[in-house]
Amino acid sequence: MSADHHAEHPTGISRWLFTTNHKDIGTLYLVFSFIMAIVGGVMSLVIRSELWQPGLQLVEPNFFNQMTTVHALVMIFGFAMPAFVGLANWMIPMMIGAPDMALPRMNNWSFWILPFAATLLILSLFMPGGGPAGGWTIYPPLSVQGGIGVDFTLLAIHMLGISSILGSINIIATVLNMRAPGMTLMKMPMFAWTWLITAFLLIAAMPVLAGAVTMLITDRHFGTHFFDAAGGGDPVLFQHVFWFFGHPEVYILVLPAFGVFSQIIPTFSRKPLFGYASMVYATASIAFLSFIVWAHHMYTVGMPMAGELFFMYSTMLIAVPTGVKIFNWVSTMWRGSMTFETPMLWALGGVFTFAVGGFSGLMLAITPADFQYQDTYFVVAHFHYVIFGATIYGLFAAIYYWLPKWTGHLYNETLGKWHFWLTTIGFNLTFFPQHFLGLAGMPRRIPDYALQFTEFNRWSTIGAFFTIISQLIFFYIAIRAMKGGAKATDQVWEGADGLEWTLSSPPPYHSFAVAPKVK
Amino acid sequence: MFIKLIRRFPGIVSRLILGLGLWLSAPAVFADYALNFQKPVTPVAHRILELHNMILLICVIIFVLVFGVMFYSIFAHRKSRGYKPAKFHDNATLEVVWTVIPFLILVSMAIPSTATLLEMDDTSKSDLTIKITGYQWKWKYDYPDQDVSFFSTLATPRDQIENKAAKEQHYLLEVDNPIVIPVGKKVRFLVTANDVIHSWWVPQLGVKKDAIPGFINEFWTRADEAGTFRGQCAELCGKDHGFMPIVVNAVNPEDFTKWVAMQKDKAAAESASGAKTWSKDELLEKGKKAYAGTCAACHGVEGKGIPGVFPALDGSQIATGPVDEHIKTVLHGRATGKFGAQMPAFAAQLSDADAAAIITFERNALGNKTGDVVQPSQVKSLRK
């Protein structure tokens, strides 16, 4: 069946330009995201090199600020989000028994916006005055200063947002309409569930960001004063609008990774996921809460007491459903029959490092304590533990888990484990000391620091180089598996369960030409 | 930018080697592994530290328990030990238990947090009020009741920042004019900003509050011991965000009174200086210093600016054109639209003598040679 289908679709460059196939588009997303990861990774090395010792060594402060800003934008909008859309594209149709995504042409478009948006974002660095230097949060009035590079960035954010919204619409349409007969919502794989909820978050949050960005553009160029106090505007309004997007964004990044953990842990525990229904409810509660906690990013702006208390309580509440998830994963493992292949290592490592970030998040929720943590390296450590520790760990877990399915070849398990352990050592070496730096009083986003912060910064810089160099192993493994290697079976993993494992490895071009029956 | 970086590579390498040398020569200052907050010196800072320690402890205990179970399971329930998988996948009782217990723990955290927050918020019955204004990139302190007012800027020499000189103990955490508060008195702060958002943070006092243009935020502190407490701007505010430290001197009340008197004498001398006629050399000398503190952050130490963001003064139309235009630009600001940032108004920041000195300096240095001498009286006449 696959042979005659192969004859129908174009080859070479036009295969990728005009493709409406969910697997090709998934591959495009993943390849794009890893190119962006390299770009963002190099920027992080510029940052960490400058911070190797006190004093200004490599770069000017203005360029340093551009690096922190663009590193964050590239990693969030260029790497983490597209990578998971790539996974959704590849896996959701296969997991729910569909032939393809519901809206294949839009799928093509939502991907092909990305390279142009990314180009615009990177080009901003080469404009007179350089790229955006006001942090990825683009707070006005600072972001109203700055040259044309800021406009490039704002337009790039608009385009990235459009791409995300289109991708989300597609995922929602696919999940709601294209499930195999018998697959009720409460029988869906957790990855499909978490992505369904994430897609709704995206549709609700991204237009809010677009609104904030648009107001910034008109403030910069069309004489409005939304955020200019001198013109009757309100600089804090921007922060409220931004974080109304920004906090759900955190869960947009992390929920699909939770979905991945919930697929992988049962497989390698050889035991069904514990508390499936409570997992779904916990995910939905986190999503709901994510919309009513935004001002915990702004405790120091001078909110009324009632606001400070409300946002503290609501934020603390997130610990409850998050705890449920962790307890469920541990209970899934309990009395299972575990093996620790690379995907399982990444999943367990991800649960562990995420928990560190989750606990520091709880600490940050406590308003009075946050007055000390706010805008310090403690925050930098916290969100890297969440975004790297959960999202990127989830991404690697997913890739190792499904790579044999995608390519039809087993990857090198020994090297995969090396990749995990080296990354884990490097990652913790980079970010764990940053907790101490923050507590001791080092503000974030500074190119130079007081002498007492030297030692931990040094560890952090060593860790960053260690982490990034370790990723070469991953690229080697992935490329080798694409080119060849031992044949993978259809089920690939002994304990794997789900529709994607009923397809051949690699799967046929149109995943399920005939809908499977789900009992 | 990258190309520039590559072109500068040999320079970068030599600076790195120099920096490494300096680092090796001063190991004593560097050996510092602080793991927790700086020593608190106010009641609120103590409460925050206690709260932080308590929550951290709870988190660590839960972490150890949960992952203790996980690691036990990883150790015991593995296939290589021949463990056969169980079949269970649900337990309603357990789900309820691990929803309710965390909730109760959270409530136990929320109670002391709320109490501390209420205490922090109470700015009533203060003994002294100080207004803080954030500028790119310095702080201004006003004592409205004492009629004292001054700017506070980074005192670390440029040579140390550029690794041309050994760094001293308080590198980047030292200022020319520290803010002075009396020990044991409740000080109420009003904080705002002139240009972009800053954040006033002194860890040992347990205070951090954003300085926002158009808003006046309020907070208070009471230092229970004398000493020098250092902090930094905590909200990214542009290029020199990392270079606008805060230094608070807490002194006993008698010394505070003396300090106030001294500040007043200084202010009187400064305003008298506006009345006299200055020589060109005097102006140039004063101007060089004032330029470094006020103008160099944007226009550069050598007046080269940053292309596209901050204009160069070297050969600029304003610094070489009519004197009155130059004075008005400094006093009242200017928006040309050609640059990302606009020139802020410095009328409130500079005395007549300072402005005259800066303008004289800019017109006779930084590559400009107009020969003009600007007197304080001329500045005064253009203040409106």
State how far the alpha carbon of A383 is from the alpha carbons of A64, A357, A389, B91, B334, in Å: 20, 7, 9, 33, 40
pLDDT at A355: 96
Q: Report chain A residues whose CB lies below 8 A from the CB of B55.
A: 362-363, 366, 369
CB B94 within 8 A of CB A331: yes
**A420 has pLDDT over 50:** yes
Please, where are the H alpha helices in A74-182? 81-96, 104-123, 148-177
**B14 has pLDDT over 70:** no
* B301-328 pLDDT tens trace: 888 887 777 888 888 888 888 888 899 8
ipTM above 0.90, yes or no: yes
pLDDT at A8: 62
> Largest Cα–Cα distance in chain B?
96
- B95 reaches A (C-beta below 8 A): yes
Cβ neighbours of residue B312 under 8 Å, at least 6 residues apart? B299, B300, B303, B304, B305
* A192-204 pLDDT tens trace: 999 999 999 999 9
pLDDT at B35: 85
pLDDT confidence bin for B12, thresholds 50/70/90: low
- Domain B2-121 in CATH 1.10.287: yes
Tell me what percent of the residues of chain B surpass a pLDDT of 90: 58
Residue B208 belongs to what H/E stretch? strand B207-211
Residue B270 belongs to what H/E stretch? helix B253-273
Cβ neighbours of residue A477 under 8 Å, at least 6 residues apart? A411, A412, A415, A416, A419
- A234 reaches B (C-beta below 8 A): yes
The whole-number average pLDDT for the span A368-387 is 97
* A63-100 pLDDT tens trace: 999 999 999 999 999 999 999 999 999 999 999 999 99
| Partner-chain contact B106 A317, CB within 8 Å | yes
A350 burial level (CB within 10 Å; 0-12, 13-18, 19+): buried
Return the residue of A nearest to B9 by Cα.
A58
CB A337 within 8 A of CB B80: no
Q: Does the model's pTM come out above 0.80?
A: yes
Q: State yes or no: is A370 an active-site residue.
A: no
pLDDT at B242: 95
pLDDT at B25: 43
* B193-212 pLDDT tens trace: 999 999 999 999 999 999 99
Fold of A22-233: Cytochrome C Oxidase; Chain A (1.20.210)
CB A376 within 8 A of CB B236: no
- Write down the mean pLDDT value for chain A: 95
pLDDT at B337: 66
pLDDT at B15: 53
pLDDT at B384: 75
d(CA A52, CA A463) in angstroms, rounded, equals 11
The single residue of A262, A360, A424, A460 carrying the catalytic annotation is A262
- A445 reaches B (C-beta below 8 A): yes
Point out the least confidently predicted range of A263-277, B108-122, B296-310, B312-326: B296-310
* B30-44 pLDDT tens trace: 445 788 899 999 999
| Partner-chain contact A129 B306, CB within 8 Å | yes
pLDDT at A10: 76
- A176 reaches B (C-beta below 8 A): no
Q: State yes or no: is A163 an active-site residue.
A: yes
CATH superfamily ID and name for A244-409+481-507: Cytochrome c oxidase-like, subunit I domain (1.20.210.10)
**B24 has pLDDT over 50:** no
List the strands of the sheet with B128-135, edge to edge. Answer: B148-152, B138-143, B128-135, B187-193, B217-221
d(CA A356, CA B102) in angstroms, rounded, equals 16
- Write down the mean pLDDT value for chain B: 87
| Partner-chain contact B117 A374, CB within 8 Å | no
- A303 reaches B (C-beta below 8 A): no
> Largest Cα–Cα distance in chain A?
68
**A2 has pLDDT over 50:** no
The whole-number average pLDDT for the span B128-142 is 95
Strands B128-135 and B187-193: parallel
- B96 reaches A (C-beta below 8 A): no
Q: To the nearest whole angstrom, how far is the Cα of B379 from the nearest Cα of chain A?
A: 26
Residue A66 CA from chain centroid, whole number: 21
pLDDT confidence bin for B172, thresholds 50/70/90: very high
* B48-96 pLDDT tens trace: 999 999 999 999 999 999 999 999 999 999 999 989 999 898 899 999 9
**A218 has pLDDT over 70:** yes
Tell me what percent of the residues of chain A surpass a pLDDT of 90: 93
pLDDT at B31: 45
Task: Just give the CATH number of B274-381.
Answer: 1.10.760.10
Q: State yes or no: is A278 an active-site residue.
A: no
CB A205 within 8 A of CB A171: no
pLDDT at B28: 41
- A125 reaches B (C-beta below 8 A): yes
For residue B247, list its beta bridge partners. B230
CB B244 within 8 A of CB B237: yes
> For B85, which of A61, A271, A363 is closest by C-beta distance?
A271
State how far the alpha carbon of A37 is from the alpha carbons of A42, A189, A198, A427, in Å: 8, 28, 22, 15
Cβ neighbours of A314 (radius 10 Å) = 18
Tell me the count of A-B CB pairs closer than 8 A. Answer: 336
Q: Report chain B residues whose CB lies below 8 A from the CB of A355.
A: 63, 66-67
The whole-number average pLDDT for the span A264-281 is 96
| Partner-chain contact A320 B99, CB within 8 Å | yes
Cβ neighbours of B345 (radius 10 Å) = 16
The whole-number average pLDDT for the span A456-461 is 96
At residue A129, the 3 state secondary structure works out as coil
A260, amino acid identity: V
> Which sequence spans correspond to the domains of chain B?
2-121, 128-158+170-270, 274-381
* A99-158 pLDDT tens trace: 999 999 999 999 999 999 999 999 999 998 889 999 999 999 999 888 899 999 999 999
pLDDT at B8: 53
Q: State yes or no: is A281 an active-site residue.
A: no
Positions of CATH 1.20.210.10 in chain A:
22-233, 244-409+481-507
Residue B245 belongs to what H/E stretch? strand B245-251
**A291 has pLDDT over 60:** yes
pLDDT at B29: 41
- A331 reaches B (C-beta below 8 A): yes
pLDDT at B297: 79
The single residue of A251, A393, A411, A509 carrying the catalytic annotation is A251
pLDDT confidence bin for A213, thresholds 50/70/90: very high
pLDDT confidence bin for B22, thresholds 50/70/90: very low
Fold of B128-158+170-270: Immunoglobulin-like (2.60.40)
pLDDT confidence bin for A1, thresholds 50/70/90: very low
State how far the alpha carbon of A138 is from the alpha carbons of A132, A217, A220, A243, A411, in Å: 8, 11, 13, 11, 41
pLDDT at A451: 94
The whole-number average pLDDT for the span B123-133 is 95
Tell me what percent of the residues of chain A surpass a pLDDT of 70: 98
The single residue of A249, A308, A341, A500 carrying the catalytic annotation is A249
pLDDT at B30: 41
Q: State yes or no: is A455 an active-site residue.
A: no
pLDDT confidence bin for A247, thresholds 50/70/90: very high
| Partner-chain contact A374 B208, CB within 8 Å | yes
